[in-house]
Structure 1
Amino acid sequence: MKNKSSLNVFKLSVLSLSVAAVVAQAQTTPAPAEEIVVTGYKASLQSATNAKRASTAMVESVFAEDIGKFADTNIAEAVNRMPGIQISRDTFGDGVNVSIRGLGSSFTKVTLNDSQIAVASAGSVDAQNQNREIDLNLFPTELFTRFDVKKTPVASMLEGGVAGVVNIRNARPFDNKEQGFQSVFNVQGIYTEINEKTSPKLSALGSWTNDTFGVLGGVSLYNRNLTTKGYETIGYTTLSVPHGICGSTPTGSQTLATAGTCNAPSTGNDWNVAGVTATQGYGVVPTNAGAGLTAGTVIDKAFLLGKNPGLTIDQVANGFIPRLGRPSYMDGDQDRLTGVVSLEYRPSDQARFYLDVVATDQQKEFNRIDLNFIGRFGNAIPLNMKVDENNVVTSATFANAQFFLEARPYSEDLNFYNVNPGAHFEFNDLSTVDVQLNSSRSDWRRESPTVLINTPLNKGISVDYVNNGNVPTFTPKGVNLNDPAAGWTWAGGRLNIQNEERDTETDGIHVDYRFGDDTNNVKVGIAKDTIKRAIRGYDNSARWEDVACRNGLDASGNSPATGRAACDGMSANAKIPQSALASYLMAGPYGFIDVNYDKFFAATNYYALKDSAPEGNSSNTGANSGIIDEDTTGGYFELNTSTEVGGRPLNINVGARYAETEQLISGPVTIAGVRQYQDLKSKYDAWLPSFNSTFDVTDDIKLRFAASRTLTRPNPSSMLPATTFSDVSAVQARQGNPNLSPYLGTNFDIGGEWYTGDEGYVGVTLFEKQITGFTVTGTNQIPFLNLGIPFDSLTQQQRDAINSPARGGPNVATVTVEQQVNASGSLNIEGAEITWVQPLDMILEGLGFNANYTHIKQKSEGSGVPAIAVGVSPETYNFTAYWENYGASIRLTYSYNEGSYASGNNQNNTLAAYLYSDSRGQLDLSSSYKFEGVTGEPELSLNVSNLTGEPLRTTWGYDSATFTYYDPGMIVTLGLRASF
């Protein structure tokens, strides 16, 4: 890895190269003024300004500078610089999901060509995405020409986004203004600083048109080296100091070994004093604890205070250390192939037919290895511990230390395609009909087996722990963690086969009729949309452990499936006995061991066990198995009109949308030891009125007002059955709630713009949202017949209890069901957006800037509602300085997101602890030079993402308690584009 000074030199060289190229071209004699045509980035800004000015609703748009040309790598990155927009990034630094105006990504609806789509992926590595998020990094920008973020709805817009709707539009043949054959080719090399590798990215678009027919085809191929280096922990924990050491008196059923009063409430999975006994309540130093400790020494209050000078016993007991602190490394490859085909037929000025097909195939293969310092349930002995003002441990030596390796190779396969035919008819000057159909399919498969082994206890291992407030470090003593022969043991280890499959299907038909001209018209329409999501987890972990590290196969060649007894590798039938374990390990590239997967899998019958894994109730992403089938019928009425007030134009859009949704919720339940799928049904409807207006105060000043109701359907994970009885008489049960009402938003917007000329304008918008529909745990009295469980599937004892005179039998009996219910409170969001796009041609021809700022304030009212929506920054801003002339272009963009909450509080049973994402700013460079007059007008581009190498970091409760830290590094893209 290059050192920091060489990195800085390299970054400076990249920037200097771009600036030098631009300055050199600035010496070229400009063309006569009458021959200057606005192109490139300025043309993109001009198109976005024109679209905003013409829209009655509040819309932000991004246009391709030219067909097949976006500087951003994916759609999430392309919309990131809009006001009120925030994107989430995966561990590799890629933008994935979009949040709008103070609500998380599950409240954003994404459409393709104004039609509903669904993608089966789970999002980032540790995400669930069991809701309705769309991963926008699956769509390369080269095949798309326009992205719109619709912040205020109109009645003709599909419902589903309380926060807003992002519509992406693929390239079409008549996007090219000239007839005949035209093509665009892009060749790029993408250098990733973190792994010092270069990945190829290729794309091509070709189209042919005449007066009536057009065809377009495009393909994008991206092979990327995936690497991230960082740090993770599963929360924080404290030392469980017993009564016998605290000096307090046990009460009730407590013993001297129970946590004493010097402990704050348990953080969950606490670490323990070594050798504590129930009768004495103090510990004993074990054999070979390391760090110079003598075996048999009593660990009492005096010992802990003496070995940790300057601390009180309360500070020792409540010092926060990582539960499982670990350096984390992920390394592998991603292959993504995306194609688009678009056909368009225009037999007359009154008829147009089109067909769009978009498809993506993506594979990811990467290895994830973590080396965990065992805090939770461990028996480390703290020495020389120091804490900060929040009692977060800043440094310590831990004797009797133990580590475990968590090695997990990922294999993912994602497929998506969408078919979107449609037609437009104009019967006369006033009557038009649009018909559009859509159908999408997506499936996703993930295999992610886990091999977990430990360092042995009582081998003199200690660790020096340093927490500098950024990335904690663990320096071991008494062991070489990169030595396969260091005594690694099965004891306490485990194996996991936890695979996951997801499938999504969407189908729809939309019919819209308009009577009137473009300005004054009435629109009515109907829509029918269905969406189906299926998630299935498969688990064969116990059988794999039987084969590898327990009793092996029986005489018939089958696993006896002994359950999850501890792996020990001591059985003669184990395929990898303890004595042979080291031969399946190898030195790793990151300072600790790795697993020889090919050898390990072949020896343990992994592939057959993986293929025969039975379906479970959940997957290793934490997503529950189940199927959500939604059938929605909608219709709308919309009036668009223009009038005058005081001699100035007033444009009005008013209407209402009605949507009725029927849901079939299916999921696995196990009753009386029998696993089966259970079906639950529900139905709800909603009226969604909307009003948008613009008033032209002058030719260049426009005022806006909007009011609306919006809808987002409830979280599928809260509706899946998961029915269980908590008593033998079937009186109480837990179950998902298919009758959850959707989230509803009541929205108000007021603002306006002053258009200063060309692409320039200054805009201000104030907005307010009131969101209801959040869920809390509650109880309902539900007739047994409505549980969806066959009576004969219950145990005999449960059937007898329901048939008793007091319950009245299955047709009468009720059950108290604990489930998620809609809370009565609301989340109120207030915000302001300021945008300024300003050309500075008066200073230098082609110079300008594009800036925006968003401020959001959140407040809850009533019960059962989160104080804030997680993942949303209170303040965000973007600033882009651009210069474009003489074929050269350069842009510097800085995007900033203030820190935001990533979870609620009470993490690990610590009330003050919540997950918090650090504030982060990212500087990006985009530069290019077009060789005009050369065949194909080749354009050389140099783009640098994350120029200053900003990391991604979250904390646990306190700024000094790092939760995750990922370093995606800087990414440099050198490309050549040509059109013919």
Structure 2
Amino acid sequence: MSMFKPSMLTLALIGAGVVSHTAYAAEETAKNEADKKVEVIEVKGFRASVVESINTKRFSSEVVESISAEDIGKLPDSSIAESIARLPGLAAQRLDGRASKVSVRGFSEDESATTFNGREQVSISDNRGVEFDLYPSEIMSGVTVYKTPSANLEAEGIAGVIDMQTIKPLSTDERIVQLNTMYEKTSFDKLNPDGDDAGLRGTFSYVDKFNDDTIGVALALTTMTSPNQEKRWNAWGYPEFEAGGKQYSILGGAKPFVRSSTLERDSVMFVLEAAPSDDLSMVFDALYVDFKDKKILRGIEIPFAWGQGSIAPENATVDAATGFITSAITEGQRVVVRNDYEERSAELSAFGFNTKYNVDDSLTLELDVSHSSVDKKVWSLESYSGTGRGNDRGIADTIGYALNGGNTGAQFSHQLDYSDYDLIKLGGPLSWGGSAALNEKYGVVGEDNADGEYVPHPYENQLQDGFLNTPTVEDELNTLKLAAKQVLDNEFISSVEGGISYRKREKNKVSEGYFLTLSDFSYPDNAGLMVVPEQYRLGTASLDFIGMGDMIAYDSKAMVADGQFSMLAESLTKPDHATKSWKVEEQVTAAFVQANINAELAGLPLTGNVGVRYVRTEISTEGVVADNGANGQLVLTSSLVENDYSHVLPSLNLSLAIDETQTVRFGAAKTISRPRMDEMNSSLARNYNNQQDDNGNNWEIKGGNPHLAPKEATGIDLTYENYFSAEGYFSVAAFYKDLNEWIFDGSVEQDLTGVVNPATGEVPANPIATRKYKENGGGGDLWGYELAVTLPFNLFHESLEGFGVIASHTGVEQDVKDQYGNEYKLPGLSEKIQSLTVYYENYGFQARTSMRKRSDFKGEVNGVGFTGVQVDILGETIWDAQLGYDFGEGGFKELEGLSVSLQVQNITEEPFTALSGDNALQVRDYQDYGRTYMLGLSYKF
């Protein structure tokens, strides 16, 4: 049998990054050609990217999945997430219609690490999980997902590591000057009169080499305005009650709306590569992204069972099986008409420098330094209007709801005309958002009567005419790595490598919110609502999709900018913002040693690596302790807590080549995922209640736990791979993880002896507090399997040249319990994940359709005040398609370099659906995004 065993020199060069996996594949192809005289057919375009991805997987020491630049470039999704979500075992969660969060083998984004050219990245989220819609897919040369780790990987994550890569200009064959442009259109017409339903994208790429191919540069400039629209049903909740000895539930309230969003993103990617000699190579890369996501939201907030109206039993329909009231009518109901605006902006900067020096033929030294930072600002405005200020003023409505079938929300009936500007006026139509400071500011504070009883003011807690959330996040990460690699003349170990690294990360979140009150409000002279001034009116927005007809539409952002509202900080009286504001600093020192294996086992080539990584983490978190003081005012004191922990993380990756096409892989490793930053900060709120809780305590403490330890897992992977063609392979994989030190909600008692209650100035007689926070404990098992195949149809007959299919199926199961022994479902875990791509590419013509499917899972969405909320999300199947034509490949030489494409995303208009509890009838969210059409033009000079 002719066995292929890569030379030690080739393995060393691949490990050092001097040659690519493509060059490695070329060596194997050359050897096989010499032995078998096999005819080689050159493929380009998408098929070439398939070959490149297969080679990356085939010749990696770890278990990986890969996607190449051609694949990303030919499917220019809004983000990397939509591209890599088609890989085996990976799934994406949509946020506002775009894939943003990625789970790997059943683990949420918090359990995986994301790197850029091998360096860990900051995040615009409150935590570690990267939101991939920040990264344009057009500027990346590839993405590699490491499902098993090795000691030399500079990031830690139980689920794996997702590495995004830029192009290396010295690896290209020729100068590249390319211009891509694309027109984008949503299937919905404008849902808001001031929204967008069309946008443009553009990319300019330049790659070249100079000075006898010793200096290379790559530059990519991208700009994008991408529209997205949504018809959304959202329910507040479904309260339960008992009547006649039976349990019932009913719609508590709803907040449906229409949303028009525009994602604006400009980015610059620059790479400078130099190889002045055979022994020295240097690469500098830089990425800058200016990101802005604008959302216009309009809808009618309807308090139903939790509102003012009365419900007659004869006007209700009950589902006998569940006791859920599927339709009802409420009389005397007042609603809130909402004209909201949200703007999420961020600037990302990332710089890295890497140099490698070959001291001699066997020893290589490496230095890598990098910096990445992000600055995110959110400006989220709520503007209210209705028929009268407060609960009992203005005209009430008779409103009915009837639950739709298929988890699609409900249809409403109504009697009032919500498009009438003379009826619907600016101001808070319901009494909520009470604030002692707000009441005091406007002189609407009640007083005691002659009997000593408190009598509220007629307008007390009725002055919230809107609200403004303004959280900010700053995240900065600096890294330094020193490493060395020694090639050995050994029949078992081809080389050994080791190094040390240092990472310093500082993440700072500031949470703030403001009550908005009409600037001309005064009591008693001008205490009513205000007619929307003509200059801010935009007509109407249609809510026909829920049966509410048209509603008034006005420019609430301009009204705030023009001073039509006055603002008062919510943090004066509410501790939530204090506990959501924090700074976490992490210093991670790591050292690794790894032996790279190139041996034989029973006459068969055995490659891989064995190593160990030592990681020490030092943490410093700054926050505040918020106490409720006199007159509702908060008393804040600073809080500084430090913590540290160390881990030893061994890893083993083995690859046994049965023959030229068949490989068996085995991987085993211990991995960690650090706690979420919003759970490990030192900010907390203390409150003394006059009534005791279930534990008999008056004090209550809520906040972070700086002493949280990382989650731990010990994993095993076993994979069989068969590379039966240069364009095809199939694999079968099984994986298992033993989970420990997981993080759950917990409660402990804490002694506050001597602590003064700021509200009274006295030390309470009962000093014991109930503290609610996150804590380590519990754990369990996760296991699963993966099936993947890439099949070119030319294997069956030459007439099928260009046809092919790529498919995968992943099954995941878990048995996890919390620290109290209760069953727990891991966030991000779908028990089934499938992907399918059917393609044809030949003679310049390209056609593809792709499907990604996942079953139900728990995911995180934004709740009140941008707090993450875990909800049950229904499974979804998303289909995309593309047609394209490359004129040069089609034989039109005068049009060489020109290609066109037409894409349709979300062909079947798959909605996003989340439930409220276990009852499938109780829909929390039903979001309909429609389809997206894209027409593209590309020209390579």
Quote the residue 1:198 is aligned against.
Answer: 198
1:938 shift after superposition: 0.6
SS in 2 for 1:51: helix
**2:898 maps to 1:898:** no
Indicate the SS of the match to 1:592. strand
CA RMSD of aligned residues (A): 3.2
After superposition, where does 1:693-712 map in structure 2 within 5 Å? 693-712=654-673
Which of 700, 714, 717 lines up with 1:749 in the alignment? 717
**1:47 alignment partner, SS class:** helix
**Residues in 2 aligned to 1:800 and 1:924: alpha-carbon distance in whole angstroms:** 64
How far does the alpha carbon of each residue in 1:672-713 deviate from its partner, in whole angstroms, 9 at most, with x for none? Answer: 653243211111111111111111122211111111111111
Task: Tell me the residue number matched to 2:24.
Answer: none
Take 1:602 and 1:821, find their aligned partners in 2: how far apart are those partners?
Answer: 40
The residue number in structure 2 matching 1:974 is 935
Report the equivalent of 2:441: none
Residue in 2 that maps onto 1:492: 430
Report the equivalent of 1:163: 159
Question: Partner of 1:531: helix, strand, or coil?
Answer: strand
Quickly say closer, same or farther: Cα 1:442–1:318, change in 2 above 3 A. Answer: same
Structure 1 residue 670 displacement after superposition: 2.7
Match of 2:436 in 1: none
CA distance in 2: counterparts of 1:142 and 1:423, whole angstroms: 26
3-state SS, counterpart of residue 315 of structure 2: strand
**Partner-residue secondary structure (3-state), 1:134:** coil
Counterparts of 1:66 and 1:731 in 2: how far apart (Å)?
58
1:47 shift after superposition: 1.1
Shift of 1:517: 6.0
Q: Of 358, 371, 393, which aligns to 1:426?
A: 358
Call closer, same or farther: CA 1:144–1:701 in 2, change over 3 Å.
same
Match of 1:929 among 868, 875, 885: 885
Q: 2:176 aligns with which of 182, 190, 199?
A: 182
Q: Is 1:381 the counterpart of 2:311 in the alignment?
A: yes
Displacement of 1:605 = 5.0
5+ long unaligned stretches in structure 1 = 1-32, 121-128, 241-261, 264-312, 552-569, 786-790, 808-813
Q: 1:766 aligns with which of 734, 752, 755?
A: 734
Deviates more, 1:193-202 or 1:417-426: 193-202
Mean Cα displacement is larger for which, 476-485 or 722-731?
Answer: 722-731
Does residue 502 of structure 1 match 2:473? yes
Work out the CA distance in 1 between the residues paired with 2:819 and 2:573: 35
Name the residue aligned to 2:908: 948
Alpha carbons of 1:623 and 1:885: their partners in 2 closer, same or farther (altered >3 Å)?
Answer: farther
Relative to total residues, which structure has the larger strand share, 1 or 2?
2
Q: Call closer, same or farther: CA 1:613–1:378 in 2, change over 3 Å.
A: closer
1:5-52 C-alpha deviation (Å, 9 max, x unpaired): xxxxxxxxxxxxxxxxxxxxxxxxxxxx98952111111111111111
Aligned equivalents of 2:507, 2:115: Cα separation in 1: 17
Would the aligned equivalents of 1:71 and 1:926 in 2 still touch at CA under 8 Å? no
Deviation at 1:73, TM superposition (A): 3.3
Determine if contact 1:617/1:668 at 8 Å carries over to the other structure: no
Deviations 1:410-460 (A, max 9, x none): 122210010011101111121111211110111111111222234456846
Counterpart-to-counterpart distance in 2, 1:862 and 1:579: 52
Q: Which amino acid aligns with 1:921?
A: T
Which residue does 1:870 correspond to in 2? 827
Name which of 158, 163, 169 aligns with 1:173.
Answer: 169
| Matches for 1:62-81 after TM superposition, within 5 Å | 62-65=67-70, 69-81=74-86
Structure 1 residues 623, 970: CA separation in 2 closer, same or farther (over 3 Å shift)? farther
Deviation string for 1:809-840 (max 9, x for gaps)? Answer: xxxxx976725353432131110000011111
State the one-letter code of the partner of 1:134: V
Q: Which amino acid aligns with 2:98?
A: D
**Amino acid in the other structure paired with 1:501:** T
Q: In the TM superposition, what are the counterparts of 1:232-631 in structure 2 within 5 Å? A: 232-238=234-240, 262-263=242-243, 313=244, 318-321=248-251, 323-375=252-304, 376-382=306-312, 383-388=314-319, 389-455=321-387, 459=395, 461-469=397-405, 470-486=407-423, 488=425, 490-492=428-430, 494=464, 495-516=466-487, 520-541=494-515, 544-545=516-517, 547=519, 549=521, 551=522, 571-572=524-525, 577-578=528-529, 580=531, 587-590=539-542, 591-597=550-556, 600-601=559-560, 604-606=563-565, 609=567, 624-631=580-587
How big is the shift at 1:474? 4.1
Per the TM alignment, residue 510 of structure 1 is displaced from its structure 2 partner at its CA by: 1.2
Q: Is the 8 A contact 1:407 1:595 kept in 2?
A: yes
Matches of 2:200 and 2:227, distance apart in 1:
9
Separation (CA, whole Å) in 1 of partners of 2:657 and 2:858: 40
Q: Which residue of 1 aligns with 2:438?
A: none
Distance 2:325 2:271 in 1: 60
Partner of 2:454: none
- Alignment correspondent of 1:95: 99
Count of aligned positions:
817
Question: Within 2, Cα distance between the matches of 1:596 and 1:139?
Answer: 30
The 3-state SS of whatever aligns with 1:318 is: strand
Corresponding residue SS for 2:227 = strand
Cα 1:730–1:898 shift into 2, 3 Å = closer
The question of whether the paired residues in 2 share the 8 Å contact of 1:775 and 1:820 is answered with no
Q: Amino acid of the residue matched to residue 293 of structure 2?
A: K
The CA deviation at 1:533 is: 1.0
Three-state SS of the structure 2 residue aligned to 1:934 is helix
The answer to whether the 8 Å contact 2:184/2:227 transfers is no
**Separation of aligned partners in 2, 1:828 and 1:737:** 25
Deviations 1:926-978 (A, max 9, x none): 22111112355111111211112211112223222221111111111111111
* Whole-angstrom distance in 2 between the partners of 1:731 and 1:896: 47
**Counterpart pick for 1:54 among 59, 63, 66:** 59
Residues 319 and 391 in structure 1, CA contact (< 8 A), matched pair in contact too: yes
Q: Distance in 2 between matches of 1:486 and 1:377?
A: 20
Determine what percentage of the aligned residue pairs are the same residue.
22
Distance 1:750 1:72 in 2: 32
Query: Which of 223, 232, 236 in structure 2 is aligned with 1:221?
Result: 223
TM-score in terms of structure 2 length? 0.81
**Relative to structure 1, is the Cα distance of residues 680 and 573 closer, same or farther in structure 2, using a 3 angstrom cutoff?**
farther
2:546 alignment counterpart: none
In 2, Cα distance between equivalents of 1:114 and 1:782: 43
Q: Which amino acid aligns with 2:681?
A: L
Give the superposition deviation at 1:212. 0.8
**2:784 paired with 1:831:** yes
Does the aligned pair in 1 maintain the 2:335–2:429 contact within 8 Å? no
The Cα offsets for residues 700-754 of structure 1, whole Å up to 9 and x where unpaired, read as: 1111111111111112222222334455999875553211111111111112111
2:117 aligned residue:
113
Is 2:932 aligned against 1:964? Answer: no
Aligned ranges for residues 709-728 of structure 1 at < 5 Å? 709-727=670-688
Aligned in 2, Cα 1:878/1:777: closer, same or farther, shift over 3 Å?
Answer: closer
The code of the aligned residue for 1:836 comes to V
Partners of 2:71 and 2:81 in 1: CA distance: 19
CA spacing shift, 1:223–1:644, aligned 2, 3 Å: same
Deviation at 1:547, TM superposition (A): 3.7
After TM superposition, give the deviation of residue 669 of structure 1 in Å: 2.1
